Chain A
Amino acid sequence: MSSQNLQFKGYALTDPSKWHDLKIIEFKPKTFEPEDVEIAITYCGVCGSDVHTLTQGWGESKLPLVVGHEIVGTVTRVGDKVTEFKPGDRVGVGAQRGSCLRCRQCKEDYENYCTNGIDTYNAEYPDGVVAQGGYSTAIRAHERFVFPIPDEIESRHAASMMCAGLTVYSPLRTHGAGPGKKVGIMGIGGLGHYAILWAKAMGAEVYAFTHDKSKMEDIKKMGADHVIDTTRKSFHKDLTHTLDILLSTRDVFGDSTPLGDYLSMLYVHGRFVTVGLPDADDPLPSIHAFDLAPNGCMMGGSKIGSKKECLEMLELARSKGIKPWIEELPMREVGKALQDLKNNNVRYRYVVKQDIV
């Protein structure tokens, strides 16, 4: 496909009262600059962020809005300053498409924590162009936020690694998942299932926590060493002071989650890290200092990952032949995927195939 023919069209939110009823619109792409890479999209994964954004759970969104930030496609054109890519390359873009590239974070391979980061969708470039996402025909992004996909990884598998995969890989790496470590994963959905796959590949002993008995067979097949049914009373008691890392992918807490029970499963200086981002009015359950003192544990967050981490993750996936558990649909059926995701009906990540052109 030549760049001159590249159209920028996508399935967009136009009416928030019908949040999953997306209509094709044409949109203005990012103003092309010397460090940009233009990509014709083939696949896009469906992320919880898409649901939170479209339902307005994270606040009022721009309109019209094309979401989607687990993007894979083919390079159609590169700016003159681009050194890593050329037309024809197979690449991915995740949940971030820009940053200042000058601050401490950007210089220390923490561009995902740049305070002037630009999200892949529902953000605005300094020149006023609205960032539109990957449920579309094409995207333009700064080279730093474009990731080469290894030949051995199929596009439909790579897509959801761009956000779900990376978002759990980063904290596993940061907090030392590896041989000799015990890693717990709370919530086995898109992100959670990736966490099992990566943590096992990194050599850790993996404990998967789920309230959904129908997932337990799958979870064992994914490689989890232990599967814990969280509907069982006092499930946490057998695991007091055991885990080095407890990664939570839950994006709904409500009032009744006993966070102290989860924290009690951490060994000394263990870390509870949440990658789930609930709606704005759903804070973490209340804790007391007495929940943190008995094991000197910590609870924290994590935000997607850096390019450095993404490339490491892709190499891990490539070298160990790791494939996610996906369900595929044509992009026109993304509304169904979104509803299923909201109702926790996906096993374990939807990927939609671009069908506009």
Chain B
Amino acid sequence: MSAQKELEFKGYAMTDPSAWSNLTVTPFQPKNFGPEDVEIAITHCGVCGSDLHTLTGGWGKSHLPLVVGHEIVGKVTRVGEKVKDIKPGDRVGVGAQVGSCLKCRACNENYENYCPQMIHTYNHEYPDGVITQGGYSTGIRAHERFVFPIPDKLESRYAASMLCAGVTVFSPLKAYGCGPGKKVGVIGIGGLGHYAVLFAKAMGAEVWAFTRGTAKAEDVKKMGADHVVDTTVDGYWKDLQMTFDILISTVDHFPPGVSIREFLSMLYVHGKFISVGLPDVDQPLPAIHPFDVTMNGSLLGGSHIGSKEDMMEMLKLAADKGIKPWIEELPMKEAGKALEGLKAGKVRYRYVLKQDIAPVEA
């Protein structure tokens, strides 16, 4: 390898919210480098629904200019003095979080993804005022706790979308005991949903996939789902009452008038319906009545990405079992096209962008 030149930080940024998918290459200030930080030259970045919610303003106003993207893979260019387990040249990933306080109960109990002072990978602010910029870019710096070594057997283009989509479903599957003997349902087969099918099968559960219509049924069977249910069929839920230990819902928002009572009724006693979708701020969950959760003592919950512990377990599972997501690859300059495709529900099943601003040496 030739002498390393200094990493230049540039990314496809939104500069004008009225043209949110029109992203142009813009330099930005990276995180101020500290002793526990890892600097990464980015090769790949997945395209997440969060990117869409952020750019369109659905989650509120953004800092400008803004580079999104939080399914990042790249090569380590430099590490701070206190970094022990990662070295330059390593292939690593970064997901939707780049910081936490590291002192609170959650941080100390491997729940840093629930730290009240967490720092998001983009559109957030470090205590020193630097705005976090994401992975549709040449580089990123992050604290070691939020940087994940990628197993050799796992290709970068496959690992990328595991860093948000993958871990966001893996974490609740693991937390709520997905495994042999368990019945798991996945509602919505998109980026997150298809990962839920792949992981739940790999963890040994019996898996039902719930999807609207039949267009995705073939694919979902190939992904390994034991059963595919078309939710546009009247009363599809009736034969599945009192069945599931876990239902993972990846539905982003439930249209007005849609009830989740039918989903809740499919849970076995003390079963859990976990929604990982995070809709726009003006889209609350459909109202439920205590009767809906009393009839089976069930629970409705949320989940937020995953911890490093979750992430490493997931990457190992993926490497050991040869799990490959179903991706569509595009050069990073076509990020806008990917975002529009995601918005229109066209992607099968995750876009991954290849960084094309500055080549990363092999």
Q: Hey, which bits of chain A sit against chain B, CB under 8 A?
A: 104-105, 108, 110, 113, 115, 170-171, 174, 240-241, 267-269, 271, 273-278, 280, 282-284, 286-303
Contacts and interface: CB of A to CB of B under 8 A. Distances in A.
Contact of B304 (A110, A240, A293): A293
B290 A277 contact: yes
Nearest to B59: A290
B68 to A, nearest CB: 18
B284 interface: yes
Nearest to B299: A300
Contacts of A284: 287-290
B272 interface: yes
Contact of B297 (A104, A113, A269): A113
B3 interface: no
Contacts of B270: 174, 300
Given A300-B293, A301-B292, A105 B242 contact: yes
A139 B96 CA distance: 60
B304 A294 contact: yes
B303 interface: yes
B204 to A, nearest CB: 20
B116 interface: yes
Nearest to B111: A268
Contacts of B304: 293-294, 296
B252 to A, nearest CB: 9
Given A289-B302, A290-B281, A292-B302, A301 B297 contact: yes
A125 B101 CA distance: 59
B20 interface: no
A269 B175 contact: yes
Contacts of B296: 113
A297 to B, nearest CB: 6
A267 B294 contact: no
A295 B111 CA distance: 9
Contacts of A275: 294
B116 A300 contact: no
B183 to A, nearest CB: 11
A291 B293 CA distance: 18
Nearest to A103: B242
Contact of A289 (B105, B268, B278, B291): B278
A298 B264 CA distance: 13
B214 interface: no
Nearest to B286: A286
Contacts, number: 123
Contacts of A288: 279, 281, 283-285
Contacts of B303: 292-293, 296
A280 B300 contact: no
B137 interface: no
B93 interface: no
Contact of A115 (B242, B275, B298): B242
A108 B172 CA distance: 25
B288 A283 contact: yes
B289 A280 contact: yes
Residue among A276, A287, A300 with the highest chain B CB neighbour number at 10 A: A300
Given A289-B277, A289-B285, A113 B302 contact: no
Contacts of B278: 289-290, 293
A204 B213 CA distance: 48
B347 interface: no
B232 interface: no
Residue among A278, A284, A298 with the highest chain B CB neighbour number at 10 A: A298
A296 B114 contact: yes
Nearest 9 pairs of A and B residues by beta carbon = A292-B302, A298-B301, A300-B299, A301-B293, A301-B294, A298-B299, A283-B289, A293-B304, A283-B287
Residue among B274, B281, B301 with the highest chain A CB neighbour number at 10 A: B301
B275 A289 contact: yes
Contacts of A267: 105-106
A278 B275 CA distance: 25
B258 interface: no
A241 B114 CA distance: 9
Contacts of B291: 277, 280, 301
Nearest to A113: B269
B29 interface: no
Nearest to B306: A296
Given A115-B242, A289-B279, A300 B300 contact: yes
A268 B114 CA distance: 7
Contacts of A297: 301-302
Interface in B287-346: 287-304
A284 to B, nearest CB: 6
A113 B293 CA distance: 11
A276 B294 CA distance: 9
B253 to A, nearest CB: 9
A274 B290 CA distance: 7
26 contacts: A104-B242, A104-B268, A105-B269, A108-B269, A113-B297, A174-B297, A240-B116, A267-B105, A268-B106, A273-B299, A284-B290, A287-B284, A288-B279, A288-B285, A289-B275, A289-B279, A290-B281, A292-B302, A293-B302, A293-B304, A294-B116, A297-B301, A298-B274, A300-B270, A300-B299, A301-B297
